[in-house]
Chains A and B, each alone.
Chain A
Amino acid sequence: MIAGLATLLCCQLAGEVTARLFGLPVPGPVLGMALLFAILLARGGEAPPGLATTADGLLGVLGLLFVPAGVGVVLHLPQLARDWAPIALAVLGGTLLTVGVTGLLADRLLRRRG
């Protein structure tokens, strides 16, 4: 488990360093994900069991990890109250329209290309 966590942190660190060094607009963890994926692909075969256990453990509680930032909504209640109509409509309507449009598009494109 510690080896798995160390692997994840090494990839994240490499991603953070790369993003800062080259001034990329992409966050370190997303670059880290790409790096880990490239490593797994280069190794071939099954993902190492230690890494797989740690990754599955973390991703099993992925929702929990968003909770502290989510509670931060309390800091912006006045702003949310002032511009509630555009914010509510964009968050609700915009998000659900995006789900529908992306879903239909993906469904059609996947069917055509198999």
Chain B
Amino acid sequence: MAGFAELWVYLAREPLAALTATLLAWLAASWGAAKARWHPLANPVLIAVLLLAGGLLALGLDYRAYFAGAQFVHFLLGPATVALAVPLYRQWRAVRASLPAAVASVLLGGLFAALAGIGIALGLGAAPEVTASLAPRSVTTPVAMGIAEALGGLPGLTAAIVICSGIIGAALGPIVLDGLGIKDWRARGLAIGTAAHGIGTARALRVNALAGAFSGLAMGLNALGTALLLPLLWRLVGG
């Protein structure tokens, strides 16, 4: 029989354990979220990330070794983003009628998100590379990393900030919208998709098909608009 140490080396090196742990953490998080009746605060992404990050830190495991296994799940983000075309197509009749209003609110909302990030960072005296990492905060991760790099930010830190923002937006955004009395599913989807990209869209799709379609649309438009406009804006603000 192999010793415990050898077994540990095998488990830490092979992708099987990390992949299994990711799926089990997700099942546990979904179970917890269902128990909480899908309350926005019981966000399954947040719970699963806390479980796995806590596990890595407690066991002293390297993130890169973990990602070697978890990358098989991560890879599916690409095709899933493409798949957002399907709910958008199903709701196209409703979306087309309100397209100008949707485009205007997403572009202005995305601009506001970037300015708020830059303003808060400058106001609190953050390092320039942190400010550049905070500016593209509301955009989906791969775009945000590319923008941050172009602005002189840190792509890795940006990814962490983007995902935290997505979790916050998905968990607390619906409470803000309730407080403001916004009941239109289209407006709710646009707000969540603009501020909380894919993580917010995941939540919106679960709650309401119309909100999900508008959220996916907002995420795509915001990625497009911010990628094109933020570098220009940055040059103006940065002098």
Contacts and interface: CB of A to CB of B under 8 A. Distances in A.
Interface of A: 5, 8-9, 11-12, 15, 25-30, 32-37, 40-41, 47, 51-52, 54-56, 58-76, 79-80, 83, 85-87, 89-107, 109-114
A58 B159 CA distance: 22
B108 to A, nearest CB: 6
Interface of B: 22-23, 25-26, 43-45, 48-49, 52-53, 56-57, 63, 66-67, 70-71, 73-74, 76-90, 92, 97-98, 100-102, 104-106, 108-109, 112-113, 116-117, 120-121, 123-127, 130-131, 134, 137-138, 140-143, 146-147, 150, 154, 156-157, 159-161, 163-169, 172-173, 176-177, 180, 182, 184, 186-188, 190-192, 194-196, 198-199, 201-203, 205, 212, 216, 218, 220, 223-224, 227-228, 231
Contact of B83 (A59, A63, A67, A68): A59
B6 to A, nearest CB: 26
Contacts of A56: 86
Contacts of A32: 78, 81-82
Contacts of B86: 36, 40, 47, 51-52, 55-56, 59
B106 A102 contact: yes
A61 B22 CA distance: 13
Contacts of B67: 68, 71-72
B195 A102 contact: yes
Contacts of A8: 79, 82-83
A8 B81 CA distance: 9
B77 A29 contact: yes
Given A62-B198, A74-B56, A110-B187, A91 B83 contact: no
Nearest to A15: B82
B87 A59 contact: yes
B53 A74 contact: yes
Given A71-B66, A79-B130, 20 more contacts: A8-B79, A27-B81, A40-B85, A41-B89, A55-B86, A64-B23, A65-B77, A68-B73, A72-B159, A73-B163, A87-B161, A94-B134, A96-B173, A96-B176, A98-B191, A99-B192, A103-B177, A105-B108, A106-B105, A114-B98
A85 B98 contact: no
A41 B92 contact: yes
A71 B134 contact: no
B101 A90 contact: no
B130 A86 contact: yes
A19 B228 CA distance: 13
A106 B102 contact: yes
